[in-house]
Each structure stands twice: as C-alpha cells, then as structure tokens.
Amino acid sequence: MRSGTLILGLGNPLRRDDGLGPRVVEELNRRGLPQGVTALDGGTGGLDLLRYLEEWVRVVIVDAADVGQKPGQFVRFDLREARLLARNGSFSLHNAGLGEAIALANALGRTLPEITVFGLQPKSLDWGEGLSPAVEAGLEALLDAVLEEVKGDDNAQDSGD
Amino acid sequence: MKIEVHHVTRVEGHGDIVVDTENGEIKECRFEVVEAPRFFEAFVRGRPYYELSHITSRICGICAVGHATASLQATEKALGVELSEQTVLLRKLMFHGEMIDSHVLHTYYLVAPDFLGVGSVIPLASSHPAVVERALRIKKLSGDVCAMVGGRHTHPVAMAVGGFTHLPSEVELRAMRARFVDARVDMDESIALFGTLPWPEFERETEYVSLKKDDEYALIDGTIVSSDGFSYPIEDYRKVTNETCVPFSTAKWTHHNRDSYMVGALARFNNNYDQLHPRAQEAAAKLGMKPLVTNTFLNSAAQAIEMVHCIEDSIEIMDELLTRGIKPETPPEVDVRAGEGVGACDVPRGILFHHYVYDENGICTDANCIIPTGQNMANLNADMKALVPQVLDRSQDEIRLLLEMLVRAYDPCISCSAHFLNVEFV
C-alpha cells in the first residue's frame, strides 16, 4: 500500500556539487514540509533505491544532473519526458544508480509511482565538500520550486496500487 | 593472443585482467588492481576510540557490519571491555544478516547472469522474473534484520564499544523470526537453482585460511587456521598475511605456507564443514559438495550454503533472545587506558583483521586493516595462470568470459582492498 510523497535527494556530499541532493533534503527539513511529504537523503544508493519506488504515491527526485543548462540552473521533468541512461548490459555495483533501479522495476513489471525529477546543472564534481558558488546561488530558486511542486500534496490516504 | 579487460563488471570496484600468450606459452597473465588507495589506516590515527568503528565501517558499503564488528572487537580487547551475552547474540544476528545480504547480492545479482545467459540482473528480471523477485525478497529480509538490530541497513549506528545504544523489541524479534522461518522456502529454491548451474570444471588445490571455533561455525573471533595444518591466535595474524607490494596492483598481496592462499566462503566451508547447521550440510549434499572442494568457481555455491546456515542460526539466536527476554542494557562505561588489540571476523569475502594501538587518552596512534580481497589476489593470479593453459583452444570471447567468471568467483571487493578489477588481454 503506497502513501505520501517522497522527496529523494541523491548524491555524494564529498564530490562538491554532487552533494546537491542531500543538501536540498537538509534545507527542506529545516524549513518544514507539508503533512504527508517526507524528504530523505538517498545518498548514492544503487539498486536498493528500488524500495523507494514502491512505498510512495509520488516521488520527487532532486539530483545534480547534466541537463544542458548553465551551472546552478535546473530543469523539471517527468520521467515520461526523459530517458535516464540505464546500463542494460553489464555494470559494476559502483555505477548502478537510479536509472538501473527504474529499469529493474520496469523489467519486473512493477508499478512505478509518479516520478518528477529536478535536475540541476553542476559546476564541479571534484573531490571536496560544499557546493560551488554558482550552484549555491541557484539553490534558493530550486528549493522554492520543489516546495511549490509538493504544495497541497497531502495524499497520505491515497493508494497508488 | 592478447586479451585485455578494462574494469571487469559485476564486481565491487575497479580491476583489470591482462593475458598475453604466444604459441601456447603464457607471456603475461595477471589481475591488476587499479582502484585508488583508501588511506583509512592513516585517518583513524588521532581519533578517539569510540569513533573508530563508525569510521572504518565506511571502508565498505556491503561489509559495513563486518568492519564495525572487527573494529569494535579490536578496541574492546585494547581497552579491556567485556561484552554481555545479549550483546554477543545481537552482534551474531546482525553479522548473519549482512552475510546473507552480501551473499544474495553476489550469487544472484553478480554470478547468476553468467550462467543464465544475460549481461546483468536487469535483463535477468525480464528472462527470469521469479529468480530476481526471490533475490529481492532475501535481500530485503537481510537488510531489515540489520536495520532492526543496528538502527539502519548499512553503517550500523547502534553498535557501540561494549554494547548497543538501541535494542530491538521482543515484538520486532518475533515478527522477524517468523519471516526467517518463511525464508526457508526461498533457501530451498536457491539451492535448487544453484544445483542446476553448469559450474566450470577447474581444480586447483590451494591453502585455505579461515577462523575456527570448536563450538560454532566461526565468523566472529576464534583462532586462525589453515588447511595446511597451521593454527595461530588472531594476534599473530601477520605470521599468516605477510603482506607484500606488487608493481601492478594497489592491493597488497599475501602468502603464508605456499605462494598464495584463499579466504572466503569456500575456505570456511572446507575448514569448518562440521560446524555448519545440519540444514546447510543437507544443502551442500544437494550441491554435491563435501570438503575438500578445490574448484574455485564453487566459492559462489559455498556462499549459497552459508546463506542456509545463517538463516537457520539466526532463527536459533532469535529463539534464545526471546527465551531470555531483551534486557534494557546500555553500553558499559569504558575505563580509558593505553592498549593494543586485534579484532578478526570471517566476513562474506573472508578473514578480516583490524589492529589498533591506543594511547592513555584512548586516542588511536596506529592502525592496520587487512581485507579479504587483498589476501585472495595472489591466489586469483595463480588460478588464472593454471586455468589459461587448459582453455587456450577456446575462442577469445570464451576465455575472456571464463576469466571474468573466475575473478567474480572470488566476489572481490576491490575498493576495499586497495590498499583492488578490469581484464586486459594484451
């Protein structure tokens, strides 16, 4: 039985702007979220992300991504509008990610939740902590957009199955 | 003929295979570890005793509980901390959870695709959905038991020096026990599946090294034993590991009585078969396995047998915990002092050592961690050199696949050992 909306921040805070997802989760939890909306740090979870796709009516993913924008600018898209690159052939466990988890769910015929992605263009994915100034400058607009996205999402009683 | 495989897939981390033959003679045949060094031993120096298990748990996202357990053991020996029976039982239960989690990941996600003719677990989900659904069920169960005891699936927060900062409730234990009993069906199906797989024929006897205990299948603590008849207290681990550097690998090599030795599920199976749970011995009989098994590829089958053992032993541990009742214990006060301690656990990939020295303020001044995959490197290379001449009449693609399967049989955790996979046929 599915319930609620999950905001899932993905990334590694030790790789500069890749830490955007966890940082957004931290900021949102500080600001407070509408009832029925949960924000979780998905880290760099690989195929284990599958379980996040099974427990919620709606999943909003926040991740640093190459979306063809200037650093700090973001793009919002539905999973239906874009293809996440999944390695359908062989892959090492160290590079399995959301794309592979969704491909596995699809291959098993699982019903996916409604998935919205906020992809923000990174500037630096080098080793180190802290977002680059360009991404830091874009953070506020992203937080506002994510909160706007989930506003009124009090769907705790809904079932997606 | 030159075969080069850069970054062997379906393993944890990065390593390369390099094979070069001329007129049937091997010129080059090796496994190179190209993963960057990790430096964990350097960055625990200067840290207080209560942080070490949490830092070293991060060596691995799969064996986090194993590292934490060996780390706590080293610290507790150094500082003279005694454990309650309840703590010992809970640590064993969590350790089993991680063993099952790691073995199902390796046998189902990483090894099974080789035999079922697909590139990865994703096409396997389309061709064999029941197999993948079963793997996901077992994986969820093992992750849930780790979370129940340790506070979360990976990197246990509740494990502390001397005990646990959070305890499972009897209601949670009872529900978990019922799920473990139900998992027997999935275990029977797993053994049936692995019994049908066409394991490659390849025999090379080597020295098998593991922990040993008289009264149980040794996973946490014990003595170090070798199939060549040696036995050492864990404090003497350096007499076994003899680490050396090789130019083409960021993982150090080890050797003991011979040029190489093997650690992991097959070594444990060979050395400790008598202590396996009777249901696990039945599973071994179904797979046609009884010591001494010298086909390296069967390390994965030994892992399946160990899954059965861990399920059964977990049920018995939960029964004991429920009979005793969960006592509201908290970790004891630590009497901080200078000291030195060695912890050893037989984690999913083999024997693991953590060795720490603390000053009078409980600050770590020296640390050494020896990881199973590193200990298997010399043996893997010896296996490759023995296997290649036997299969030179086959096509380059067949040889490449067979060598990749051989590497995967060791379930190498390359990032952890680098201080370790791609195949390069040159």
Instruction: Confirm whether B333 is domain-assigned.
Output: no
**Total number of domains in chain B:** 1
**Residue B221 DSSP symbol:** S
Instruction: Confirm whether B336 is domain-assigned.
Output: no
Residues 6 or more apart in contact with residue B256 via CB below 8 angstroms? B207, B209, B226, B228, B230, B239, B240, B241, B242
Report the distance separating Cα B306 and Cα B266, nearest Å. 10
Report the distance separating Cα A121 and Cα A72, nearest Å. 6
Report the distance separating Cα B231 and Cα B240, nearest Å. 9
Strand order in B350-358's β-sheet?
B339-347, B350-358, B364-370
**Is residue B325 within 8 Å of B40, Cβ to Cβ?**
no
Q: What is the mean pLDDT of residues A25-45?
A: 91
Interface-testing mutation among B120, B121, B140, B146, with chain A (most A C-beta atoms within 10 A): B120
Instruction: Confirm whether B22 is domain-assigned.
Output: yes
Q: Which CATH architecture has domain A5-150?
A: 3-Layer(aba) Sandwich (3.40)
- What residue in B sits closest to A50 (Cα-Cα)? B136
Query: Across chain B, what does the average pLDDT equal?
Result: 91
Q: Which two tokens stand for residue B214?
A: 């008289």
Answer yes or no: do A47 and B126 touch at CB < 8 A. Answer: no
For Cα atoms B22, B23, B27, give the angle at the middle one, nearest 5 degrees.
30
Per mean pLDDT, which range of B14-18, B122-126, B294-298 is the poorest?
B14-18
Interface-testing mutation among A53, A104, A112, A127, with chain B (most B C-beta atoms within 10 A): A104
Per-residue pLDDT tens for B153-184? 888 999 999 999 999 999 999 999 999 999 99
Domain residue extents for chain A: 5-150
Residues of A within 8 A of B12 (CB-CB) are 92-94
Per-residue pLDDT tens for A68-98? 899 999 999 887 666 665 544 445 555 567 7
Instruction: Confirm whether B334 is domain-assigned.
Output: no
**Is residue A142 within 8 Å of A85, Cβ to Cβ?**
no
Instruction: Confirm whether B340 is domain-assigned.
Output: no
Answer yes or no: do A100 and B122 touch at CB < 8 A. Answer: yes
Task: Please tell me the predicted confidence (pLDDT) of residue A88.
Answer: 46
Answer yes or no: do A92 and B11 touch at CB < 8 A. Answer: yes
Residues of B within 8 A of A51 (CB-CB) are 140
Task: Please tell me the predicted confidence (pLDDT) of residue A86.
Answer: 53
Instruction: Confirm whether B244 is domain-assigned.
Output: yes
Q: What are phi and psi of B38, to 5 degrees?
A: -105, -30
Residue B231 belongs to domain spanning: 2-328+346-424
Answer yes or no: do B10 and A92 touch at CB < 8 A. Answer: yes
Task: Enumerate residues 56 to 75 of chain B having a beta carbon within 8 A of any beta carbon in chain A.
Answer: none
Hey, is the C-beta of A95 within 8 angstroms of any chain B C-beta? Answer: no
Per-residue pLDDT tens for B90-108? 999 999 999 999 999 999 9
Answer yes or no: do B119 and A50 touch at CB < 8 A. Answer: no
The pLDDT confidence band at residue B424, using thresholds 50, 70 and 90, is very low
pLDDT(A156) > 70:
no
Task: Please tell me the predicted confidence (pLDDT) of residue B25.
Answer: 82
Answer yes or no: do B12 and A86 touch at CB < 8 A. Answer: no
Instruction: Confirm whether B63 is domain-assigned.
Output: yes
Per-residue pLDDT tens for B334-363? 999 999 999 999 999 999 999 999 999 999
Per-residue pLDDT tens for B381-397? 999 999 999 998 999 88
Hey, is the C-beta of B233 within 8 angstroms of any chain A C-beta? Answer: no
Instruction: Confirm whether B337 is domain-assigned.
Output: no
Hey, is the C-beta of A125 within 8 angstroms of any chain B C-beta? Answer: no
pLDDT(A155) > 60:
no
Per mean pLDDT, which range of A11-20, A47-56, B172-181 is the poorest?
A47-56
The CATH number covering residue B73 comes to 1.10.645.10
Answer yes or no: do A104 and B9 touch at CB < 8 A. Answer: no
Examine residue B292 and say whether the peptide bond preceding it is cis (omega within 30 degrees of 0). yes
Task: Please tell me the predicted confidence (pLDDT) of residue B89.
Answer: 98
- Tell me the angle at which helices B85-104 and B299-324 cross, rounded to the nearest 10 degrees: 150
Task: Please tell me the predicted confidence (pLDDT) of residue A42.
Answer: 85
**Is residue B88 within 8 Å of B99, Cβ to Cβ?**
no
Q: What is the mean pLDDT of residues B1-26?
A: 80
Task: Please tell me the predicted confidence (pLDDT) of residue B278.
Answer: 98
Q: Is the ipTM of this complex over 0.90?
A: no
Of B123, B136, B140, the CB nearest to A88: B123
Provide the percentage of residues in chain B whose pLDDT is more than 90. 73
